[in-house]
Amino acid sequence: MEAWATSEQVWQGALIFARIGAVLLMLPGVGESYVPPRVRLSLALMISLVLWPVVAGGLPALPASLGSMVGWVIREVVVGLMIGALLRSFLTALSTAGEIVSLQTTLGFAQTANPMQAQPGTTISAFLMLLGTTLIFATNTHHLFIAGLVGSYELIAPARPLVTGDFTAMAVKTLGDSFMLGVQLSAPVLVFALIFNLASGLVGRVMPSFQIFFAAAPLSVILGLSVFALSLGVLGTVFIDRYRALAQVFAGGAGG
């Protein structure tokens, strides 16, 4: 092994790979179940080799005992999973928006396989999740992931104690913001549904003999989806701006 790399270099590479591999396991797009594990591992190895000259100086020295080595590796895996979980959890904003739109357009019963969540969900929710992942790569937001991997070694340095309280507070804040954003993204359809239901109820009271349900049900679907389609451009723009802001929290460490 000494002919190719010293034991210290192998140790540093293993630590970097542990964090990078854990992050890629959770990242949107790359960490999905339909991506072959060999592709994820190969990408993690390549990124680890690229980042090694940049972050090797801040890594701890090779421990003398096996227990210490295992402890450091587990710590880096936990840090990687924490970072990846934060970046993935913000995608729940699109899932929330899709569920609200489906309920307001009476399409909540239309279930389909959601490849982003590996479980059934509403059709609109699955569409928005795929749209969000596409926007991340189409707008080169995934480049911020690479910068965030470098910045994470300054924000959460391996030599410093792991502060789980800060991560918990940030995770709660991220989930709260994602839920609020989901409601905001579905606001046009919510406003339409409120006005439409009030108008339907008024017509039903004024004309009791008129079968309002048979007229309101198809109109609710057609008009609701029309409003959703018209607001789709703004929805995608607002989401990707907020997501880039979250990714820049980690990328800011690299810029600093």
Percent of the chain topping pLDDT 90: 15
For 26-58, the pLDDT digits (tens) are 888 887 777 888 888 888 888 888 888 888 777
pLDDT per position as a tens digit, 166-188? 778 888 888 899 999 999 999 99
Round to whole Å and give the CA distance between 38 and 175: 31
pTM for the whole thing?
0.79
Domain limits for position 127: 7-255
Predicted local distance difference test score (pLDDT) of residue 89:
86
- Which of 67, 70, 58, 54 has the alpha carbon at shortest distance from 14? 70
Q: Which long-range contacts (CB under 8 A, 24 or more apart) does 62-68 make?
A: 62/7, 62/8, 62/11
pLDDT of residue 254: 44
Spatial contact of 158 and 63, defined as CB atoms under 8 Å apart: no
Q: Tell me the backbone φ, ψ of residue 46, rounded to 5 degrees.
A: -65, -45
DSSP label at residue 58 = G
Q: Which residues neighbour 102 within 8 Å (Cβ) at sequence distance 6 or greater?
A: 108, 110, 122, 123, 124, 125
Average pLDDT of span 53-65: 81
Burial class (CB in 10 A: 0-12, 13-18, 19+), 167: middle
Name 135's Cβ contacts closer than 8 Å, sequence gap at least 6: 141, 236, 239, 240
In a domain, 241, yes or no: yes
Question: Does 2 reside within a domain?
Answer: no
**In this structure, is residue 106 part of a structural domain?**
yes
Number of domains within the chain: 1
238 is a domain residue: yes
Tell me which residue of 147, 166, 146 sits closest to 156, measured CA to CA: 166
From CA 28, how far away is CA 90, in angstroms rounded? 10
170 found inside a domain: yes
